[in-house]
Amino acid sequence: MNQIRKTSSLAIASLVSGILGWTLLPFIGTVVAIITGHMARSEIRASQGQLDGDGLALAGLVLGWVSVILLLVGLFILFAFLGGVAWLATLNS
């Protein structure tokens, strides 16, 4: 007999937060997406097939971590640029 599986609410929250992290709530949405994504995946594994939504949780995690990586790359580029400008300023004086 087929059993109806319930989707994890944490997985849905992770996906929604991941989307919000790219649009309306850049920092808060990213952090919430990563935390709820990890919580949802462990909840789904522990449910022994009762919960569904691993793909949603994974999508939220990917959105969250890609946002963090892009932030770190952007900060590196910013500081490298500012460091280069400061170095050029010392050459001209």
What is the DSSP code string of the chain? ---PPEEPHHHHHHHHHHHHHHTT-HHHHHHHHHHHHHHHHHHHHHTTTSEE-HHHHHHHHHHHHHHHHHHHHHHHHHHHHHHHHHHHHHHH-
Prediction pTM value: 0.86
Q: Would you write out the chain's pLDDT as a tens digit for each of its 93 residues?
A: 567 889 999 999 999 999 999 999 999 999 999 999 999 999 999 999 899 999 999 999 999 999 999 999 999 999 998 888 888 888 876
